[in-house]
Structure 1
């Protein structure tokens, strides 16, 4: 009975975080998309790159998934091939109106994101954090619109991933496109951490974990390369993990 109550208590907050993650999108995919897509979109033709999906191409080109599918005769489940040429817009008039519509709808989202980002960040040292794995940070945190809302740490496939602090697992799954196998841990009413692109997950929802406990292994699920995408969220707002983690290779002094 206690377990059921715990799940009911944590589930709504986990859903709120999931929605926040969806709004900012996966930073690793954002970074790889911005680099891999360079030169692949020319005029009304897009060349499919490794890891592309219709939804990702839709975000980059301003065409809806439905329009992309219709223009290119693609039916569900929308399978793409590397090097495939896709038409990404119809007539110039429809393209113009579509861009206008995208511009209009993007403003409220940016405003919403700005209101969330206004939450004051906690002082450094207010909570002890452990590095979730070892490796080089290949993509740092960015607070800009569409920026990386965590850090990406490179490593080897199968490398251990550890809980950055003690807490309760509130999500284990791969339902969020672009994150692959994802684990989220709630540490208090204020803090949640997220660990994405795992090869395997070793914990279950509602399980309590200790700081430094192995929770997953590093992989490339939902990503073009082997890495860990790690987020710390304070009151649902992403904060820069490197501000709060100890120097690489050392333990926290707090």
Structure 2
């Protein structure tokens, strides 16, 4: 996948944020030719595919800044003609788009393709779920202040608290295909653009954006949330890859 980092961020957090994208209907044009109304479950990437407007252009036309959050009901300017938008809208109503959580596990990367380490000590209190609306990562409970570590080497692409419900959030990009996310942190110890090593402490565990102390951890492969416990080593052991 060759999307830009901002596009990957939005794609990744269609998982985290129900409003990272959406589409409902298209109306008569604006100066760019059409308007698209965001509905629950949309992402900029999905809207890009439906309307033929690139993710980059969607962000530019609508002054959407990182982390590229959009809201249900929001009207987005898109490229193309009114008729094109209507056709796209009709197509979206009559064809089911497979959301990231429904992508078959057969498309997931093989175990051992990349080494991951546990991002924190503690107990997994909520596992990953493939159900619609289910947990798209794992929740690890431990005392406040427990160290949070980078699960793999990579580059920090987001540090902030602008994604509703996730509190202080860190996202790390690992090559072209992977992003890991670490939510509900207390203290954050890295900056945007910083390169980190596997096992480097990046934060302390907290309860920002939630009512209990925990770390919500996700691994995204090409914007699809995959089960972290399938790729992490057994608790207390080192990766074998």
Matched, 1:146 2:133: yes
How large is the RMSD of aligned CA atoms in angstroms?
2.5
Deviations 1:165-224 (A, max 9, x none): 000001111011110000000001111000000001111111100000000000000111
Match of 2:174 in 1: 187
Question: Separation in 2 of the partners of 1:172 and 1:109?
Answer: 36
Question: Separation in 2 of the partners of 1:136 and 1:212?
Answer: 18
Question: Separation in 1 of the partners of 2:126 and 2:95?
Answer: 24
Question: Separation in 2 of the partners of 1:22 and 1:109?
Answer: 23
Match of 1:218 in 2: 205
Give the drift of 1:17: 2.1
Relative distance call for 1:115 and 1:200 in structure 2 (3 A) is closer
The structure that is helix-richer by fraction is 1
Larger radius of gyration: 1
For normalisation by structure 2, the TM-score amounts to 0.64
Q: Which structure 2 segments of 5+ residues have no match?
A: 21-39, 41-92
Relative distance call for 1:108 and 1:193 in structure 2 (3 A) is farther
Relative distance call for 1:24 and 1:135 in structure 2 (3 A) is farther
Find runs of 4+ consecutive structure 1 residues off by over 4 angstroms: 107-110
Question: Separation in 1 of the partners of 2:201 and 2:117?
Answer: 12
For normalisation by structure 1, the TM-score amounts to 0.61
Match of 1:14 in 2: 9
Deviations 1:64-102 (A, max 9, x none): xxxxxxxxxxxxxxxxxxxxxxxxxxxxxxxxxxxxxxx
Q: Secondary structure at the match of 1:138?
A: strand
Match of 1:71 in 2: none
Question: Separation in 2 of the partners of 1:192 and 1:126?
Answer: 15
Alignment map for 1:121-200 (pairs within 5 Å): 121-200=108-187
Relative distance call for 1:246 and 1:117 in structure 2 (3 A) is same
Contact kept in structure 2, 1:24 and 1:146, CA below 8 Å: no
